[in-house]
């Protein structure tokens, strides 16, 4: 946990550096995979299959978690075959990469497409793109409960891709706390529905903020790049351009606009995505209970 130091801010900003929880299965990915891995073990399935783009944090983390627990893993990758550090790492962890066209990838949730993967690879435990499902939300509820036990805050802010982490955090919050999710997608009109699908909480104020995507998923601007570089050099906080750079920029902008009550504490979740192996061995989580 670090506090963002900046003169003149009317609120206290704490940043939970959750990317420090594991060298490779970092940030919210550890929480989202935890019960999926347990369920695969319970069902007696030895292979995990999931989906992602060529730079997917989820692919990166699933490959690492699978190897650590002795699972085989298959990553269905959107688009033409490429080799980059993310996919090189996934291969090094034993993941078989199966590239499909962008058109075919759009059918990834369709029964016929899943059946074709089963014919090709045999039985597998399916984890959706981004990892959000019932099991993932259960893990993220635990994440939220841990945040409550370790910190005092009024609002919690986090980046949102598929909605599972936000749903878990909302479900765990005390009454009176607010949750702001910052969408990393442009025009994510269905995202609120995805969040609502996974939580039934009616007494937690939550909101999706869609003004800080900087052009869309993985898009960047000079302003965003400069902010990320300044965060590293001036505040010693490492951010990425897909998730955490955008959310912290957005939180600070809303603070300056008076969006948060003066004197309150805002907790910002750094949910990982650095893929740089930055972590502190002293707080590394493990999968010992799942073996």
* Gap between the terminal Cα atoms of the chain: 29
Q: How far apart are CA 283 and CA 117, in angstroms?
A: 38
Residue ranges with strand state E in 221-277: 265-270
**What is the predicted pLDDT for the residue at 264?**
97
For residue 218, the model assigns a pLDDT of: 81
In a domain, 291, yes or no: no
Spatial distance between the Cα atoms of 288 and 291, rounded to a whole number of angstroms = 5
Q: Do both 96 and 117 map to the same domain?
A: yes
105 and 196 in one domain? no
Answer yes or no: is 288 within a domain: no
Contacts 24+ apart (CB under 8 A), 197-200: 197/163, 197/167, 198/132, 198/134, 198/137, 198/163, 198/164, 198/167, 198/168, 198/171, 199/137, 199/167, 199/168, 199/170, 199/171, 200/171
Residue 266 in any domain: the answer is yes
On whether both 33 and 125 belong to a single domain, the answer is yes
Q: Assess if residue 15 is contained within a domain.
A: yes
Q: Are residues 199 and 166 in the same domain?
A: yes
Taking a C-beta distance cutoff of 8 angstroms, is the pair 209, 250 a contact?
A: yes
* Pair (103, 118) in one structural domain: yes
| Boundary of a domain, candidates 131, 165, 194 | 131
**Same domain for 271 and 147:** yes
Do 208 and 87 have their domain in common? no
**Mean pLDDT in runs of 10 for the chain (291 residues)?**
94 94 88 97 98 93 96 97 92 98 95 97 97 96 95 95 94 92 86 86 87 89 94 93 94 97 97 64 56 59
Question: In CATH, what number is assigned to the domain containing residue 21?
Answer: 3.40.50.1100
Do 195 and 175 share a domain, yes or no? Answer: yes
Domain total of the chain: 2
- Based on C-alpha coordinates, what's the Rg of the chain? 19
Shared-domain flag, residues 279 and 195 = yes
Residue 96 in domain: yes
Dist CA 19 CA 21 (whole Å): 5
Supply the pLDDT for residue 277.
44
Q: Is 212 inside any structural domain?
A: yes
Instruction: Please check whether residues 272 and 218 belong to one and the same domain.
Output: yes
Q: Which structural domain range is residue 55 located in?
A: 29-131
Task: Answer whether residue 45 is part of any domain.
Answer: yes
Query: Helix 244-256 to helix 222-235 angle, to the nearest 10 degrees?
Result: 90
Domain boundary among 102, 131, 160: 131
Q: 116 and 147: one domain? A: no
Last residue of a domain, one of 131, 158, 184: 131
Between CA 195 and CA 137 the distance in angstroms is 10
- Are residues 146 and 237 located together in one domain of the fold? yes
- Supply the pLDDT for residue 12: 98
DSSP-assigned states of every residue in 12-67: EEEEEEGGGG-SSS-THHHHHHHHHHHHHHHTT--EEEEEE-TT-HHHHHHHHHHH
Assigned domain for 165 exists: yes
Assigned token pair, 177: 């706390």
Residue of 59, 49, 114 whose CA lies nearest to 82: 59
- Sheet containing 47-52: which strands, arranged edge to edge? 95-100, 72-78, 47-52, 125-126
Q: Would you give the distance in Å from CA 84 to the centre of its chain?
A: 20
């Amino acid at each position: 946990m670090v506090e963002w130091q900046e003169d003149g801010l009317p609120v206290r900003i704490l940043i939970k550096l959750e990317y420090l929880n594991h060298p490779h299965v970092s940030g919210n990915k550890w929480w989202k995979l935890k019960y999926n891995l347990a369920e695969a073990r319970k069902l007696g399935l030895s292979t995990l299959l999931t989906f992602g783009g060529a730079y997917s944090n989820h692919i990166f983390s699933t490959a690492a978690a699978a190897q650590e627990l002795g699972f085989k893993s298959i990553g269905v990758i959107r688009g033409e075959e490429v080799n980059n550090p993310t996919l090189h790492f996934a291969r090094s962890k034993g993941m078989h990469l199966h590239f499909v066209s962008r058109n075919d990838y759009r059918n990834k949730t369709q029964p016929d497409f899943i059946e074709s993967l089963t014919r090709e690879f045999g039985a597998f435990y399916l984890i959706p793109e981004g990892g959000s499902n019932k099991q993932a939300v259960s893990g993220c509820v635990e994440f939220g409960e841990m945040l409550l036990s370790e910190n005092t805050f009024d609002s919690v802010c986090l980046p949102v891709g598929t909605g599972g982490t936000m749903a878990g955090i909302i479900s765990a919050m005390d009454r009176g706390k607010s949750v702001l999710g910052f969408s990393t997608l442009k025009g994510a009109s269905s995202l609120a529905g995805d969040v609502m699908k996974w939580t039934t909480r009616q007494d937690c104020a939550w909101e999706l903020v869609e003004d800080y995507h900087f052009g869309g998923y993985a898009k960047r601007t000079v302003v965003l790049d400069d902010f990320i570089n300044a965060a590293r050099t001036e505040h010693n906080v490492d951010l990425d351009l897909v998730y955490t750079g955008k959310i912290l920029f957005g939180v600070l902008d809303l603070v300056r606009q008076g969006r948060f009550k003066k004197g309150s504490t805002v907790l910002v979740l750094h949910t990982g995505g650095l893929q740089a192996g930055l972590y502190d061995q002293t707080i590394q989580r493990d999968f010992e209970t799942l073996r």
